[in-house]
Amino acid sequence: MIQLTKEQRHELDGPGPVRAVDPETNTTYVLVHSDLYERIEGLLEDDIRQMQHLLADLSPEDWEDASAYGSTP
């Protein structure tokens, strides 16, 4: 784990995730709060059982209206 500098911490005060670039590799990283990461972590894994658990926690308002897609499978 790394420790943030005061300047880096200040960047996290804004809304949404923060993007960070490694100047040596030019790789971009996205920093999100750990609680958000833990909520989406299961969606990033291949284990369907984990995804079922997360989907079960969704409320009906979270589901998109599928009728907009017509009858196309």
pTM above 0.75, yes or no: no
Q: Based on the structure, what is the number of domains in the chain? A: 1
49 in a structural domain? yes
What's the confidence (pLDDT) of residue 63? 67
pLDDT digits over 25-72, tens only?
999 998 888 888 888 876 776 566 666 777 777 777 766 666 666 665
Residue 42 has a CB neighbour count (10 Å cut-off) of 16
What's the confidence (pLDDT) of residue 40? 81
24 in a structural domain? yes
Residue 17 domain boundaries: 8-58
Q: Residue 29 in 3-state DSSP?
A: strand
Q: What is the DSSP string of 34-45?
A: HHHHHHHHHHHS
73 in a structural domain? no
**Is 14:21 a contact under the CB 8 Å cutoff?**
no
